[in-house]
Amino acid sequence: MSLTRDTVEEIRQYIRENCSTLFGKKFWECRSISLIQFSTKSDKYEQKFFVISKFRVFILHGKTPLHLKIDKKFNLLSLRAIQVIAASKELNLSWEDRSGRSIVKASIKCTEMEPIELAKSLLSALKHYFPDIGPSLSNFIAIVPSQLLSDFQTFPISTPKLLCNNFRRSYVAICDYYDQRYKDEVVWDIEHIYFTHDLHEIRLEDFVHLPVKDQITILACAQFSEYFTGITIEGTKLVSEHIEILFNIIRRSHSLKTLRLINCSLPKDFITHISAAISANIHIPLEYLDFSSNNLDDRKGFQQLATVLPKLTHLKSIYFTNCGLSEKCVTAISSGLISGFTMENSGKKLELRALGLAGNSLKDDVSELVNFISLCTSLRILDLSGTSILIDRLWNNLKLGGLQLEVLKLSGCSTGKKSKEHAAVVKELFGSMVNLKEVDFSNTQIGPDLLQAFLTGLANNNLIKDVNVNLNGVCDKTCAPILEKFLGDCPIATLFLRDSSFENEILPVLSALRKMKSLTMLDIGGNNFYTLKSNKKYASIYSHVLDELVKMMNESNLQELNLSDARIGETMHIILNAMGISKLSLLDISNNEMGNTGARLLSKALQLNHCLQKLYIDRNQITAEGFAELSNALKLNRTLQSMPTPMIDVAEAFGKPDRSRVLTAVSEIERYLERNRSEKCRNEELRQKVIHQLNNRSEKYEINSSDYKRIIFFEVIKVISDFGAESPIRVSTDDIIDTVVTKLHQISKINDDKTLAKLKEILAEHGVEICEQIEAQNPGQEDYLKKNIKQLVENHLTEISWATVFMKADRLLTLNNALKLRGSFSNGAIDHSVHVGYSKLNHRPASMIHDSSDTPSRATSIDELNNGSATPLVHLAKSRPRPAHRLRNIKDENGNTSSGLDSTPPSSSHTPITTTMNNSTTSHMSQSSSSGDSNGSPLIAKRAALLPPPASPQLYASVPDELISSTTTTPPPIPRRTPNMPPKLPPKPETSPAKSPLNKHKSSLTSASTSESSELIDRF
């Protein structure tokens, strides 16, 4: 029995007013309510109400409002077919019944509207929640007639359009489809984090704290949204629900460009299923595929993938790193890629730019891969690391198709016995590449012949520069001459030479590296020095190697140096002492066993260094004491901005009683680093920098050849230091700042007008009109601008003024007569009784802590490193003075036996004894002009440690002048078992005390000049 018109209107009104009561709280409105004839079986129709509320379709039956019941309901996304039959005016629908996992088919007749209008109302509701679904409709809904697909683009867009292409609406509809609760935090993350940072790739790790079903709803949004163009999942184990929704995304999406599934435990048949999914949506714009670190060795699956790859004309990058692929799988991929280049009438051809097959064993049949490399001229990145592929088979093919390569990674590959026969091809290849930026041969034994060909090719190539070359574990001692000869002309900016076996041939390699003009980053850590360190016969070579490293730090163009894992140990002090003037901006000395002693020396260097910005020091056995020293150093250092917390050392130090001290030191270090990163006033930093630079150039000012210049130098340094410690001189900049701010305000007004006009135009395109003109100005904007400009100008003036101070001071100190002391001093040298010159070492001298060790130490200056006549280290026991009781039978120069105790030495012998002592003890502490005789020969032999000369009786027999002149009594004798024979006096010196330099100097100066001289000498 049919319902009357009044009853139908009453029921329709009741449904409209009681939506939330009938359907649920979230369905508070209805888009359309129609009276239909509904049938799930042929020729059996019933009168029912067809209601579209929000994102669901409800089919109700009942004769009165109080008797209404829901007969069918389904989500709009469940639709699988919409067919309009014009002849019978029927609308056939098919939808997925998720509860019963079946497809429901129904036929609808409507007397109130045409069936096609009813179909349009369904599609319009679908577009309201998924505005970008248009191109994907045909991928999951069969629509007849096709005119509906064309009309879909004309349907109105939901307003207002929400962020991220209506993500909020899409998400709530998908949550209903999967019968999951709506999560506000998901919407908040997408609309705030993703939209703010313009992120278009769903990263599943952002939502792993949610249950799997909630993750599915988030991923499902990428099926129909143009906002999301990629999916990244890394390190998350995927279950079957994840895999299924990924396949649905590939089948339905028309905007997915990137798919990264890294280390996700993908099933072994994943390649087979994803190939089928791609075949169902061949127009998907995939550009980047990365399935690395998943076991995907499926020959049949890759054969199926090979038929699909040529059709993905947008594909640019493929990565199957560490996927356990066999040669047959790689052959299938290569065959598919080759067909993408050779297909006839294929329209747009495949242009692959990156291919990564690292970590897969490719020892035998790789002919198809090699052929692909020779054909693909568009390839820019080729990664075959760890494949054990025979690289001899690649060179000729790379010369055909690889000249455009930017990155070539062949680490962990193999070479044949006849590899040197390919040297000419290698030389020609690397000499012809036009875009090369990175080459990786690490752990591939290419041999000296191929190495020479490679370096020669780079040196002859004028089209490339700043190449990154990785030769870790490649070179041995046979390669050292090659590196020494050919490295200098190579356009290499970054070089890795870790874990090489140079042994005692490393010294010429370091010398060649120091002379490279293009090299800015060097990694020479690892086991490069361990053989030299552990073998005593290489001690002298090891010392020269460390000195060469110091030269490299100070004299080359190197900006970053990595010495991590070198385990240099105690001799690390040689490098640390040179850091005071090093130009390095980054230094990595992790795992070098330097301990607290090294940390203390490092702190000294940081107090002087003004270039280092990044420092890595972990795994060095540093405890609370070392961290406290570093904290104190950073208190004075103004340039270091990054020193990652040494987590391993800190963790070990926490297990000791002084844990609170470690926490305090580490927090202070972080605070000082933050101060350096945010400091606006650079006056203190520039003051330190000028003083350091003047100190480093002291040798140029010849202060060691003239005491007069030395006094002036120290006065200039002291004045500059005191001058810079005061508040910087400020000139009035208010007028120029006001002028600049006024000009900027005028320019800003013009720019604002253009910006607002452009904004108004764009808003009009989106249907938004600006009705009123509102003046919106930030009241504090002008003050903020003035403050920033003033700070910028003051910093600029401060930097320029300090640069002027340095240049002027440097020029004045370089000239001979530009500076003169006032008073009675003449512009000449000042004689001293004890000659203590200013050290010629630009870096910090060797610490006394290390002088007694059996490891190489520094006792000579940088300028004397090439002198091979330096006396080798002497054992401590052999150089220590003999005890007094062993000297009773030692004969003097006259052949007389003397005792170890001289009761009353004669006054005439004390002058030469004192002179000898002074010269022997100060010659290693300074390199003054008085350390040699008139012919320039040194008074004593050079030593590599701060030790007294072996068995020198004069050294321990000497006593101060005051004590000799005042002593008139003999000390009580010491009881001995044998009688103590009185010693014979040593021979008298040829010069009398009156002719000594001290008395001669005293007689040549006036009393006034003598007093002024003493005052200036005491000052420095």
Measured CA to CA, the distance from residue 20 to residue 433 in angstroms comes to 70
Range of weakest confidence among 371-375, 401-405, 481-485, 810-814: 810-814
pLDDT 10s digits, 967-1013: 444 445 545 444 445 555 555 544 444 343 334 343 443 343 444 43
Distance (Å) of CA 148 to CA 93, 117, 137, 144, 856: 14, 10, 10, 7, 86
What would the pLDDT profile of 424-436 be if each residue is shown by its tens digit? 999 999 999 999 9
Under 8 Å between Cβ of 627 and 669: yes
Confidence of residue 906 (pLDDT cuts 50, 70, 90): very low
3-state helix, strand, coil in the chain (%, to 5): 45, 10, 40
When pLDDT is cut at 50, 70 and 90, the band that residue 844 belongs to is: low
Burial class (CB in 10 A: 0-12, 13-18, 19+), 261: buried
In a domain, 149, yes or no: yes
What per-residue confidence (pLDDT) applies to 861?
Answer: 38
pLDDT band at 899 (very low <50, low <70, confident <90, very high): very low
DSSP, collapsed to helix, strand or coil, labels residue 773 as coil
Residue 80 pairs in a beta bridge with none
CA dist 305 and 335 (Å) reads 10
pLDDT tens sequence across 723-767: 777 776 777 888 888 888 888 888 888 888 888 888 888 888 877
Residues in the chain, total: 1020
CA distances from 154 to 131, 453, 763 (A): 11, 65, 20
pLDDT digits (tens, 9 = 90+) for 211-259: 999 999 999 999 999 999 999 999 999 999 999 999 999 999 999 999 9
Q: How many domains does the chain have?
A: 2
CB 612 within 8 A of CB 584: yes
1007 Cβ neighbours under 8 A, 6+ residues apart: none
Token pair of 847 as six digits: 């610490």
Please answer whether residues 574 and 859 qualify as being in contact, where contact means their C-beta atoms are separated by less than 8 angstroms.
no
Portion of the chain with pLDDT greater than 70, in percent: 79
Average pLDDT over residues 153-180: 90
Tell the residue number behind the tokens 């998720």, with chain if given. Answer: 98
Predicted local confidence at residue 847, as pLDDT:
56
CB-CB neighbours of 933 under 10 Å: 9
pLDDT of residue 51: 95
- The answer to whether the CB of 386 falls within 8 A of the CB of 414 is no
Under DSSP, the state recorded for 414 is B
Alpha helices by DSSP H, listed for 379-465, are 395-401, 423-432, 447-460
3-state DSSP assignment of residue 201: strand
Confirm whether 181 is domain-assigned.
no
State the Cα angle at 845 between 842 and 851, rounded to 5°: 160
Residue pair 513/522 in contact by the 8 Å Cβ criterion = yes
Distance CA(626)–CA(305), nearest Å, equals 58
Asked if residue 859 belongs to a domain, the reply is yes
Better-scored residue on pLDDT, 190 or 818: 190
Structure tokens at 884: 């007094």
* 119 vs 157, more confident: 119
> Highest-confidence range of 441-455, 828-842, 1003-1017, by mean pLDDT?
441-455
- Which residue has tokens 């004969």? 891
**In angstroms, rounded to a whole number, what is the distance separating the alpha carbons of residues 783 and 781?**
6
Q: Tell me which of 114, 132, 160 is where a domain ends.
A: 160
156-165, 350-359, 492-501: lowest mean pLDDT where?
156-165
- From 160, 179, 200, give the residue that closes a domain: 160
pLDDT at 801 (0 to 100):
83
Sign of the alpha-carbon dihedral angle for 947, 948, 951, 956: negative
Is the per-residue pLDDT at 397 higher than 50? yes
> Is there a contact between 622 and 662 (Cβ–Cβ < 8 Å)?
no
Q: How far apart are CA 348 and CA 341, in angstroms?
A: 10
Average the pLDDT over each of 553-557, 711-715, 830-834 and give the range with the smallest value: 830-834
Amino acid letter, 380: R
Q: Are strands 32-41 and 102-110 parallel, antiparallel or unpaired?
A: antiparallel
State phi, psi for 355 to the nearest 5 degrees: -135, 120
Sequence-separated (6 or more) residues with CB below 8 Å from residue 355:
317, 318, 319, 376, 379, 381, 382, 383
Residue 272 burial by CB count (10 A; 0-12/13-18/19+): exposed, middle or buried? Answer: middle
CA distances to 125, 633, 635, 645 from 673, in Å: 57, 11, 9, 11
Poorest-confidence range of 370-374, 509-513, 616-620, 899-903? 899-903
Residue of higher predicted confidence among 865 and 46:
46
Categorize the per-residue pLDDT at 695 as very low, low, confident or very high, splitting at 50, 70 and 90.
Answer: confident
Closest CA to 198 of 152, 165, 172: 165
Is residue 964 domain-resident?
A: yes
Helix, strand or coil, per DSSP, at residue 715: helix
Q: Residue 592 in contact with residue 566, Cβ under 8 Å?
A: yes
Amino acid code (one letter) for 870:
A
In a domain, 894, yes or no: yes
Q: How confident is the model at residue 928 (pLDDT cuts 50, 70, 90)?
A: very low
State residue 905's pLDDT score: 42
Token reading at 135:
């191109």
Domain that holds residue 883: 848-969+982-989
Q: What local confidence, expressed as pLDDT, does residue 842 receive?
A: 55
pLDDT at residue 178 greater than cutoff 90: yes
Largest Cα–Cα distance in the chain? 148
Q: How far is the C-alpha of 93 from the C-alpha of 119, rounded, in Å?
A: 9
CA–CA gap between residue 348 and residue 425 (Å, rounded)? 33
Assigned domain for 497 exists: no
Least confident of 312-316, 635-639, 651-655, 677-681: 677-681
Residue 860 lies in a domain: yes
Phi, then psi, of 731 in degrees rounded to 5: -100, 155
Instruction: Indicate whether 466 pLDDT > 80.
Output: yes
User: What value does the mean pLDDT of the chain take?
Assistant: 81
Q: State whether residue 81 is helix, strand or coil.
A: strand
Q: What's the rounded Cα separation, in Å, for the pair 465 and 459?
A: 10
Question: Which of 133, 160, 187 finishes a domain?
Answer: 160
Element (H, E) at 754: helix 734-765
**Of all helices (H) and strands (E), which one includes residue 61?**
strand 56-61
Q: What is the pLDDT of residue 943?
A: 39
Q: Which residue is it, tokens 């004028």? A: 462
Lowest mean pLDDT among 189-198, 295-304, 324-333, 700-709: 700-709
Which H or E element spans position 69? strand 69-75
Encoded tokens for 21: 């009561």
From 194-203, 525-534, 788-797, the region with the lowest mean pLDDT: 788-797
CA-nearest of 943, 945, 948, 946 to 870 is: 943
- Residue 65 Rama label (left phi>0; alpha psi -120 to 50; beta): alpha
What interhelical angle do 447-460 and 423-432 show, nearest 10? Answer: 30
> Residue 984: what pLDDT?
53
Is residue 526, in this structure, part of any structural domain at all? no
Q: What is the pLDDT of residue 960?
A: 43
C-alpha 894/C-alpha 988 separation (Å) is 12
The DSSP annotation for 866-924 comes to T-TTPPPP--HHHHSPPPGGG-TTEE-TTS-EE-S--SS--GGGHHHHHHHHHHHHHTT
CATH of the domain at 111: 2.30.29.30
> Which residues have a Cβ under 8 Å from the Cβ of 226 and sit 6 or more positions away?
132, 165, 254, 255
Before 845, cis peptide (omega within 30)? no
pLDDT, position 900: 42
Q: Which of 468, 444, 524, 572 is nearest to 846 (CA)?
A: 572
* Mean of pLDDT values over 949-957: 40
Long-range contacts of 977-985 (CB under 8 A, 24+ apart): 978/888, 980/888, 980/899, 980/901, 981/888, 981/897, 981/899, 982/899, 982/903, 983/892, 983/896, 983/898, 983/899, 983/902, 984/892, 984/894, 984/896, 984/898, 985/905, 985/906, 985/909
Distance, CA of 906 to CA of 939 (rounded, Å): 25
Q: Over the stretch 73-123, which tens digit does the pLDDT of each residue have? A: 999 999 999 999 988 889 999 999 887 678 999 999 988 889 999 999 999
Specify the DSSP class assigned to residue 287: -
In whole angstroms, give the CA distance from residue 530 to residue 566.
7
Distance between CA atoms of residues 924 and 947, nearest Å? 9
